[in-house]
Amino acid sequence: MTVVTKDIWTIDAFSARRYQGNPCAVVFDADDLSQQQMQMIAAEMNLSETVFLLSPSVVEADYRARIFTPRAELPFAGHPTIAAAFAMVETGRFAPEQEPAIISQECTAGLIPVTITESGLEREFVMTQLPPRFRDAGIKPELAAEMLGCKVDEIGSTPIQAVSTGNWMLAVPVRSAEIVAALSPNSSLIAATCAPLDLNGVAAFSIGALTADCSVKVRVFAPHHGIPEDPVTGSANGGIGGYVARHRLLGDPPIRYTAEQGTELGRDGRVAVEVDSGPDDGLVVRVGGAAVKVLEGRIAV
């Protein structure tokens, strides 16, 4: 019996060091795979996300990406976007003709441009996410504290809000980086709370970090997607960037900062966040970082 196989890589995003940042599986030439096959492969890989590279369906895009957690397809996610752009460049499917280069990713949420720059041997990939949207999820500090495993007075004073730059998350401000590091989340309560509200997880963050080169600390929990804690989350960091700008937590935009995430999982990552004022009183959010290949092979379908 003939077995169909596909080239597959794993790439650590938001780090230039292997075995740090967030690992993502990238499956190439996936046009002939069904949604069921993609979901089965994502469940088999059992990473936060697996991204499948397909031919674009619109002329403005260089490629199309479908992104799956172990349990569901997402319209957009950050670290698979970084991993996909990295894979397109490394395999020569996209050849930068100028510095910086811009590659356009088509995904369910829309077109995501990724700017690629090089500094020495390291490339940085910076995606312009969708304009941030906000809504009240009806979550009180008492429930947020119970979900995160902290005291009510350790929740910040700014609103608990749902925010999306392509992927809805619950943004929960926490009063210090030390509290964020010590969180002990209640996975079953997070899942039971987020799923009915169409939220993909809870993003807890603080202004202030535990390392000198960072200004924000982030942890993200998405157990109903099979992700008890995500190592480094590009979409959540984009949403948090929009939140930080909207509530002037680091001053008026434009703002620039580096966020730390993944330390508690031994997957230390760095996320560069930029937020500028946009048209119609909106915000433009850019999120970026490095990437490195860890594994390449073939997977049977």
Active site residues: 49
Contact 21, 261 (CB under 8 A): no
Joined tokens for residue 269: 């990552």
d(CA 138, CA 118): 43
Least Cα distance to 116 among 85, 84, 93 occurs for: 85
Going by C-alpha positions, the residue among 22, 68, 66, 21 that lies closest to residue 43 is 68
| Token duo for residue 123 | 């490339």
Helix (H) or strand (E) holding 272: strand 269-277
Residue with tokens 């088999």: 44
Question: Could you give the CA distance from residue 67 to residue 58 in angstroms, rounded to a whole number?
Answer: 18
Contacts of 281 (CB under 8 A, 6+ apart): none
* Residue carrying structure tokens 């997070």: 190
Distance CA 114, CA 109 (A): 15
DSSP H/E element including 295? strand 291-300
